[in-house]
Structure 1
Amino acid sequence: MQVETDPREVGLCPDRLERIDTWMRGYVESGRLAGLSVSVLRGGRIAFFRAHGHADLARDKPFAADTITRIYSMTKPLTSLAVLMLYEEGRFQLDDPVARFLPEFAQMRVMTGGNRAKIETEPALRPITIRDLLTHTSGLTYGFMEATLVDALYRQNEIDFQTSTLSLGELVARLAQQPLLTQPGAEWNYSVATDVLGHFVAVVSGQDFADFMRTRILRPLGMDDTDFFVPEDKQARFAANYVFDRAGKLRIYDDSVDSRFLTPPPLASGGGGLVSTAADYLRFCRMLLNLGELDGVRLLGRKTVELMLMNHLPGDLAAMGQPRFAESSYAGIGFGLGVSVMLDPARAQILGTPGEASWGGVASTSFWVDPDEDMAVVLMTQLIPSSALPLRRELRVLTYAAIES
């Protein structure tokens, strides 16, 4: 990926952007990251791109713009895009009960107490809507949270969209048999909701979810290296994924040569199944900043993108639940249709702009788009979990500090 403009031409200070390069080198040279890349787009042009370190330490692969990484939950905004494309076709309304399309969700119950031997439940007060799924207010959860009895049930019943050998429809049906963590609409809880939306896309469109993503979104956007697995001819560009050992040293979490991402999965996870590159994901960001269009291809109308990037909660995340994950802070941050939305940088205690949308993945990848500043930033790396290092907050400060006009 080539820098397309002098940063000064888009109101960015070159010297301050160089601080990002110093920051990147520091993480690599200290051994805290194997490698990473940062892309900064402003005014429709790439004003900064750097890659440092290795995509695979053992095999001496350099990290580059076309390094293929596991983006995990950065899949969610793309799945949400698929849902909104069908919404624009008049297939449903956002306040429709999802059970209209997925009848297994028709009689949901909600946990009220109990213990592992017997969980007490009550009927859901209202149906789960499609908007609930898009905003993570459905009452669903994740098994890996390991914080509640419902989380434990997910683990016990193998509700895992990353590793399951069931089909997408079979696993969603099993999920619907579990109680909800909260009443629909009552709290914000990060969850498998976007995986349910992947199955919803398949049912509404009549097309396999992975095929829909490829034919309706990824290929039209020119995201040619983004998919639910890495084909053989691209595997030399696939990064290894790392974790810290007890001594604070990097060790392999998922190797690049025997990863499950090297073969087509039994099910395509709309919540975390994609691999991608910095160059590809920046194209998705460009489309959002262009209000639904890129290089003559329109995926969404302007008003739908604006709706996607609005806060759909009654307040911020802090008012809607307890922090249980690391992809965002809670105070001053709202949530739109598949992305977090900055409401108040002062409350969030970070540089930013009201209306800026973002999300990240568990391997420390991240992106944000800032319509007011006409700017997008993509961070690619491979370190689990995303809470291991404060990469996102540090990069936000470095990037926004470079704005001059």
Structure 2
Amino acid sequence: MSQFGSEPVHDPADLGFDKARLARLKRWMQRYTDTGRWPGGAVLIARHGKLAYFDSAGYADIEAKRPWRRDLIARIWSMTKPVTAVALLMLYEEARLHLDDPVEAYLPEFKDMQLLIPGATSLDQTVPVKTKMTIHQLLTHTSGLSLFTGPGLLGEAYAKEALGLAKDYGGLDKMVRRIAELPLEWEPGTRWQYSAGSDVIGRIVEVVSGMPLDRYFATRIFEPLGMTDTGFSVPDSGISRFPPQYEVTAGGMALNEAPEVSAWRQGKVDTFCGGGGLVGTIDDYWRFAEMLRAGGELNGARILSSRTLRLAACNHLPGDLAALATEVWAETQFDGVGFGLLGSVVLDPAKAQISAQVGDYGWGGAAGTFFWVSPADDMVVVLFTQLLPSSAIPVRKELRALVHGALTGA
């Protein structure tokens, strides 16, 4: 029997939590709602595979006064990236590709890439790259690619064409070909910069598997894990559970319903963005994260081996992000934090100045969603909300402090 969705919350004390301290989480969420700084949200905490805490506060729809519910289908944006990485690692385990393979071996459009020269004033001011981009560099954001949130000429080009963002680009193959036509920001392997690498990884998954990314996700990951409410669009039966998305503006919170956001609701998605295209429920993402915590298996469904997962969850950079990252925003702080194949990895909590264990790993999404897996504490934490940008309020640091402040036992 599946333990998710209908599982009751276990006695937190049996799982090492102080119940009174866990109650701070509800007050914390409610305070943000009462002060008008976020619409609402939910927190789920599991330890040793059992649900220790779930609660929510505020609204899914402020105007309609609809409360935040556990079964809401939310935009998880960049929390899609770990799913895409797992999809590729499944092919890696089948020996159908290697991490150090050049990208051009699977996507010929990435042959003879160009590098934008320093101080360039147009995108045609380039020189040939010296090294071939690899799959590993795509996974670790060291490929030299940019993103629609990036700075300068390349960032503007990605944003103008909604590369890594559009749901109706005409297909992932078309979007990735356009990405390959643009120059690189950095020589591959020399800098860390948050990028559209996961979208390119998604296309490699399509080419190697022979399946569209949505079908690969559904048949190889979502169906085995019981993630029935997760996908690249919202089914008609789920529209009533799909809340509005809000953004912080100069005048406070406002609705954010851009065309690419509406595509989720209208079922017009034809471009399966591996970097940020999924929607789903908090319980579905718990299933995914729980599979990671449990060493690659959940309820008898083996997705990855524990050894591959250990490889994916460790730091793959020569140091922390601060030593290699460009000065652009990402879903993590840089000091004391490294990066693996699934997301950020805590290397030094003191340097990072966060409550964490060495080896904690996870990632977040643009609308404030966030998760981490703690191998040391045998714990999964998932936060859901729908507020752009994720940096609007410091909920991630505060959530870490609250969770660790309540975790008092073994």
TM-score (norm 2): 0.95
Question: Structure 1 residues 188-197 or 169-178, which shifts more?
Answer: 169-178
How far apart in 2 are the matches of 1:119 and 1:151? Answer: 15
For residues 71-119 of structure 1, give each alpha carbon's deviation from its aligned partner in whole angstroms, at most 9, with x where no partner exists.
Answer: 0000000000000000000001110101111111111111122433464
Name which of 190, 194, 200 aligns with 1:190: 194
Partners of 2:168 and 2:263 within 8 A in 1: no
3-state SS of paired residue (1:143): coil
How much does 1:131 deviate? 0.5
Q: Against the structure 1 CA distance between its residues 57 and 79, is the aligned structure 2 distance closer, same or farther, given a 3 Å change threshold? A: same
How much does 1:121 deviate? 1.9
Name 2:254's counterpart in structure 1: 251
Q: What amino acid is aligned across from residue 49 of structure 1 in structure 2?
A: F
Partners of 2:232 and 2:264 within 8 A in 1: yes
Partners of 1:368 and 1:378 within 8 A in 2: yes
Please state if 1:329 is matched with 2:333: yes
Q: What amino acid is aligned across from residue 38 of structure 1 in structure 2?
A: V
Name 2:111's counterpart in structure 1: 106
Q: What amino acid is aligned across from residue 116 of structure 1 in structure 2?
A: T
Q: What amino acid is aligned across from residue 209 of structure 2 in structure 1?
A: S
How much does 1:152 deviate? 2.6
Name 1:207's counterpart in structure 2: 211
Name 2:143's counterpart in structure 1: 138
Name 2:45's counterpart in structure 1: 40
Name 2:96's counterpart in structure 1: 91
Unaligned runs of 5+ in 2: none
How far apart in 2 are the matches of 1:359 and 1:26? Answer: 24
Partners of 1:241 and 1:383 within 8 A in 2: yes
Name 1:268's counterpart in structure 2: 272
3-state SS of paired residue (1:122): strand
Name 2:10's counterpart in structure 1: 5
How far apart in 1 are the matches of 2:157 and 2:114? Answer: 14
How much does 1:223 deviate? 0.7
How much does 1:166 deviate? 2.3
3-state SS of paired residue (1:190): coil
Q: What amino acid is aligned across from residue 54 of structure 2 in structure 1?
A: F
1:14-163 equivalence runs, <5 A? 14-117=19-122, 119-145=124-150, 147-156=151-160, 158-163=162-167
Please state if 1:371 is matched with 2:372: no
How much does 1:159 deviate? 2.8
How much does 1:160 deviate? 4.2
Partners of 2:123 and 2:182 within 8 A in 1: no
Partners of 1:210 and 1:268 within 8 A in 2: yes
How far apart in 2 are the matches of 1:298 and 1:28? Answer: 40
For residues 225-282 of structure 1, give each alpha carbon's deviation from its aligned partner in whole angstroms, at most 9, with x where no partner exists.
Answer: 001010111111111100123222x2111299x8221114121111000001111101
3-state SS of paired residue (1:322): coil
3-state SS of paired residue (1:219): helix
Partners of 1:161 and 1:267 within 8 A in 2: no
How much does 1:163 deviate? 4.3
How far apart in 1 are the matches of 2:185 and 2:63? Answer: 43
Name which of 295, 300, 310 aligns with 1:296: 300
Question: Structure 1 residues 361-370 or 113-122, which shifts more?
Answer: 113-122
TM-score (norm 1): 0.96
Please state if 1:176 is matched with 2:180: yes
3-state SS of paired residue (1:182): coil
Partners of 2:123 and 2:153 within 8 A in 1: no
Q: What amino acid is aligned across from residue 292 of structure 2 in structure 1?
A: L
Partners of 2:248 and 2:389 within 8 A in 1: no
3-state SS of paired residue (2:44): strand
Name 2:344's counterpart in structure 1: 340
Q: Against the structure 1 CA distance between its residues 349 and 195, is the aligned structure 2 distance closer, same or farther, given a 3 Å change threshold? A: same
How far apart in 2 are the matches of 1:245 and 1:95? Answer: 43
Q: What amino acid is aligned across from residue 124 of structure 1 in structure 2?
A: V
How far apart in 2 are the matches of 1:101 and 1:148? Answer: 29
How far apart in 2 are the matches of 1:255 and 1:236? Answer: 19
For residues 173-202 of structure 1, give each alpha carbon's deviation from its aligned partner in whole angstroms, at most 9, with x where no partner exists.
Answer: 111111100010000000000001111100
Q: Against the structure 1 CA distance between its residues 318 and 42, is the aligned structure 2 distance closer, same or farther, given a 3 Å change threshold? A: same
